[in-house]
Each structure stands twice: as C-alpha cells, then as structure tokens.
Amino acid sequence: MKKISYLSFDYLLIGTLIIFSVLTRQISCEKQNNFNSLHHKTKEAESKVNDLYCYKCDMMQDEDCLNINKTESNERLRTKCSQNETMCSVKRFSYTIADKNSTSEKKLWSLQRNCTSTCTNSCIIIGERTKIHACETCCEGNLCNVGSDGEKTNFNAYVNFATSIIVISSTYFFS
C-alpha cells in the first residue's frame, strides 16, 4: 500500500477545490442563460421594474468581500440586479480535516456574494476525513447579502463537484 503524505494530500485538496470553483461558475452561467426559456412571464410581470441591489464580489479577488455587514457597507461592491435576478445570495466554501484524534476547525476557502435568479437556502457536506462544506443563503431585500454565515446551498449545483472528488481521489489513492 502506498504511503500518503499530508503535503500531497493538501495539493489534492487545493486542486479539487479549484475544479469545484470552475464547475460551479459554469453551472451558474448555464442556469442564467436558460432561465428565460424555462419560465413564462405575464405582461404585468415583465413590465415590473426590478430595483434590487445586492453586494457582488468574490473573496478570491477582493478581500473586502469577506467583511461586509449591515453597519459598514462598501459602495463599490454594490450592483444593480438584472430584471430576472430577484434575490441576493452568499455562497461560502470551507473545509475541515480530521484524523483519528481530532477534527480541525472550519477553514474558509471562498466566499461569493451576488444577485441571482435561483437560490436555495441549503448546505451540503462532502467527504469523510476531509470534509468540504458548500453553503448558500438567500434573501430578497436591498443589500441584504451581508455576513458570512452561509448555512445552506443548492445541491444540484454541486453534483459535478462530488463526481470530480471521487474521480480524483480514486485516481490518486488507487493508482
């Protein structure tokens, strides 16, 4: 049996998280492009103006994204949502690593805020020793996507992530 070093495992985890990030952005774009073809709107609904504003940022590109709260807002991170984006969301990706004696505290990997047309308050946890926590929270008020306690996420958006973990893990550990 192959001896697995923690350094190699860390690289595997980072690679898997990068793949996960790319897949979720691709799925999000596909959902956004198909939204109008899946839903019919009445004339009254089409004429209603969407005046929703949300914070839009990604912690990977902007450190200010992490610390947005109700009392201290950041003007440059505000964005007007498109007509079909009727909710704001916070997506949080974190992980824990466990061994036979203990489990590490949750470590934040990524935090994203944005307008969205579909959102589900949900959370999914994948893994045994290394657990990936993907959570999403949704709200419908102006600039409501503050804080970083995303508690839930959309399961369908992360099916590809689970598949990639299985493929990468089996390739790495059983080759």
Q: What is the pLDDT of residue 30?
A: 42
Q: Rounded to the nearest 5°, which phi and psi values hold at 53?
A: -120, 140
* Alpha-carbon gap, residue 146 to 71, rounded angstroms: 10
Report CA Rg, the chain.
18
pLDDT by 10s per residue, the chain, length 175: 445 454 455 655 566 666 556 555 544 444 444 444 455 667 666 667 889 999 999 998 888 898 888 777 688 999 999 999 999 999 999 999 998 889 999 999 999 999 999 999 999 999 999 999 999 999 999 999 998 754 333 444 444 455 555 555 555 555 5
- Name the residue among 106, 127, 136, 107 with its Cα closest to residue 28: 136
Instruction: Enumerate the domain spans of the chain.
Output: 6-33+50-173
Q: What is the pLDDT of residue 58?
A: 94
Q: What is the pLDDT of residue 147?
A: 86
* Alpha-carbon gap, residue 95 to 113, rounded angstroms: 19
Q: Rounded to the nearest 5°, which phi and psi values hold at 39?
A: -125, 140
Sign of the Cα torsion 117, 122, 127, 133 reads positive
What CATH number was assigned to the domain covering residues 6-33+50-173?
2.10.60.10
Instruction: Determine contact, residues 133/106, Cβ cutoff 8 Å.
Output: yes
Report the interhelical angle of 159-173 vs 6-38 (nearest 10°): 150
Q: What is the pLDDT of residue 156?
A: 40
